[in-house]
Chains A and B, each alone.
Chain A
Amino acid sequence: RKEVEQDPGPFNVPEGATVAFNCTYSNSASQSFFWYRQDCRKEPKLLMSVYSSGNEDGRFTAQLNRASQYISLLIRDSKLSDSATYLCAVNTNKDTGRRALTFGSGTRLQVQP
């Protein structure tokens, strides 16, 4: 089982729709969670951190469910410019003290006019 798993999609949604992605992680000791956005042939860019109580940034809402070991990203009022691949990242912080993020393979979103 992969440490961090995402549905690859694509999610095809019309403009204005609300869309949500989940990302599951296997290590219950994981402590830090992030969402990144990656445009085609570009580098990933940090979209937002995910806090235990959930957090919002404009049209984007991130949530953490520790009991079920997943994080989610909700995008409201989708824009054409939201079309991208969304990567989740988790700090698995193994016993060796590794301090590096493990990334999911990404979920592709295509917003259609």
Chain B
Amino acid sequence: DVKVTQSSRYLVKRTGEKVFLECVQDMDHENMFWYRQDPGLGLRLIYFSYDVKMKEKGDIPEGYSVSREKKERFSLILESASTNQTSMYLCASSRPGRSYGYTFGSGTRLTVV
């Protein structure tokens, strides 16, 4: 069974901390994505990557950065966590091309206090 694994299910961090969210996929997918999901706002794209060391900004990249050193791993970094970054973070991967849907990880619920 194909999998996207996110390192933490729940995370509590303090304001100003640097936070790393890790995502690993075992499907040899080229494309990987980070979304956040908030009530009433749905899923919003933060960053995505279509190849190793490649990245593109999504709709809400401010306050975030990403790293993709290996094909299977895509990390989301909150440079200096703020309370408005409290959210559910979802990682996804897909094959290249428009026809393929995404496989999501189970999400990381991040609370910044």
Q: Please list the residues of chain A having a beta carbon within 8 angstroms of any beta carbon in chain B.
A: 8, 31-32, 34, 36, 42-46, 49, 87, 89, 91, 93, 98-106
B107 and A43 contact, CB distance less than 8 A: yes
B101 and A31 contact, CB distance less than 8 A: no
Across the A-B interface, give the 7 residue pairs with the lowest CB-CB distance, nearest first. Answer: A105-B42, A43-B104, A46-B101, A103-B43, A32-B98, A100-B48, A91-B98
Residues of B within 8 A of A89 (CB): 101-102
> What is the interface residue range for chain B against chain A?
20 to 34
Q: Mark B86-113, 1 if CB is under 8 A from A, else 0.
A: 0000100000101101111111000000
Closest Cβ neighbor of A3 among chain B residues = B59
B42 and A100 contact, CB distance less than 8 A: no
Q: With A44-B104, A46-B103, A99-B50 as given contacts, are A93 and B42 in contact (CB-CB < 8 Å)? A: no
List B residues 51-105 near A (Cβ within 8 Å). 56, 58, 90, 96, 98-99, 101-105
Residues of A within 8 A of B42 (CB): 87, 103-106
Which of B43, B48, B56, B96 is within 8 Å of A44, CB to CB? B43
Q: Please list the residues of chain B having a beta carbon within 8 angstroms of any beta carbon in chain A.
A: 31, 33, 35, 40-43, 45, 48, 50, 56, 58, 90, 96, 98-99, 101-107
Residues of A within 8 A of B99 (CB): 32, 49
Residues of B within 8 A of A36 (CB): 101
- Complex CA–CA separation, A42 to B96 (angstroms): 25
Residues of B within 8 A of A44 (CB): 43, 90, 102, 104
CB distance from B59 to the nearest CB of A (A): 8
CB distance from A34 to the nearest CB of B (A): 5
A100 and B98 contact, CB distance less than 8 A: no
A105 and B98 contact, CB distance less than 8 A: no
- Complex CA–CA separation, A45 to B101 (angstroms): 9
